[in-house]
């Protein structure tokens, strides 16, 4: 599954690459490539490791569980994983970091002599965490709150919570969270700080963008209906 427009070959040298957005207003990107190098070039950001959450059914468990994965070079384990919703952290040997947020997807790991290549793809936006864009950061924060509240409700059976989360397609989780936030913010729009208004306007425009692209479902279930 290759999504988006391929980047120029010269841009692979940056160490990581977000593929172009599928539509102009998208909050994120359909694909993220990360190259963990054996020998850093010292000319730019040289990824040393990638940390993210993935679903695993190891140890004979039938239910999918969330585990923390730390990918390095050379990678000696399996080459494909189902990505769980959560943060993606790319770091280098100088402790510099690049962060993103994913609603889920597929991670493919390809190992060569000189590098280990990670390709993360999703039908929901992979959101780059940009300190300059406060509205996008606030969107990620609100989504994390939504998921944390649902996890708290399932505190008596977290294994079941994670198994249910594993079954939700990324785009469905994304559209459900967008709709959930629209409903929530309607009650505070105009009464709080301008950042709240900016977030409301941003997600309403995002919904319209998805509808224009034919990506918005006819019926969007509530978060309590899917998990």
**Residue range 107-141, pLDDT digits in tens:** 999 999 999 999 999 999 999 998 778 999 999 99
Sequence-separated (6 or more) residues with CB below 8 Å from residue 21: 4, 28, 29, 30, 125
Beta 97-102 vs 86-92: how paired, if at all? antiparallel
CA distance 182 to 177: 9
Apex 52 CA angle, 147 and 114, nearest 5: 165
Cα distances (angstroms) measured from residue 193 to each of 110, 139, 158? 46, 15, 35
- Classify each residue of 121-152 as buried b or exposed e, where b means 16 or more C-beta atoms within 10 Å of its C-beta: bbbbbbbbbeeeeebbbbbbebbeebbeebee
Query: What is residue 5's predicted lDDT score, i.e. its pLDDT?
Result: 43
Cite the DSSP H helix spans in the chain.
Answer: 134-153, 158-166, 170-186, 194-212, 223-226
What per-residue confidence (pLDDT) applies to 62? 65
CA-based radius of gyration for the chain? 18
pLDDT at 192: 53
Residue-wise pLDDT tens digits, 162-210: 999 999 999 999 999 999 999 998 877 655 545 568 899 999 999 999 9
Distance between CA 207 and CA 159 in Å, rounded? 32
pLDDT of 8 strictly over 80: no
Q: Given a cut of 80, is residue 11 above it in pLDDT?
A: no
Length of the chain: 227
Instruction: Pick the closest to residue 101 from 93, 90, 117, 116 (CA basis).
Output: 90
Cβ 203 vs Cβ 195: under 8 Å: no
- Phi then psi for 225, rounded to 5 degrees? -80, -25
Q: What pLDDT is attached to residue 147?
A: 98
Task: Give me the pLDDT at residue 93, please.
Answer: 87
Average pLDDT over residues 7-19: 66
Angstrom CA distances, 34 to 9, 65, 112, 116, 155, stand at 14, 24, 13, 8, 34
* pTM for this entry: 0.88
């Amino acid at each position: 599954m290759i999504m988006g427009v391929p980047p120029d070959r010269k841009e692979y040298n940056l160490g990581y690459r977000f593929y172009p957005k599928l539509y102009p207003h998208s909050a994120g990107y359909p694909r993220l490539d990360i190259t963990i190098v054996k020998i850093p070039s010292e000319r730019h950001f040289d990824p040393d490791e990638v940390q993210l959450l993935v679903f695993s059914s190891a140890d004979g468990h039938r239910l999918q569980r969330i585990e923390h994965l730390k990918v390095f070079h050379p990678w000696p384990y399996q080459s494909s994983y189902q990505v769980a919703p959560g943060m993606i952290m790319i770091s280098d040997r100088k402790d510099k970091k690049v962060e993103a947020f994913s609603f889920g997807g597929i991670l493919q790991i390809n190992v060569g002599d000189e590098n280990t290549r990670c390709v993360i793809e999703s039908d929901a936006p992979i959101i780059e965490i940009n300190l300059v864009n406060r509205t996008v950061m606030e969107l990620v924060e609100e989504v994390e709150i939504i998921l944390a509240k649902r996890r708290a409700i399932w505190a008596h059976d977290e294994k079941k919570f994670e198994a249910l989360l594993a079954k939700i397609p990324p785009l469905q989780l994304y559209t459900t969270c967008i709709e959930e936030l629209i409903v929530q913010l309607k009650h505070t729009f105009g009464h709080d700080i301008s950042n709240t208004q900016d977030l409301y306007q941003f997600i309403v425009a995002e919904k319209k963008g998805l509808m224009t692209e034919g990506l918005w479902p006819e019926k969007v279930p509530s978060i309590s209906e899917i998990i």
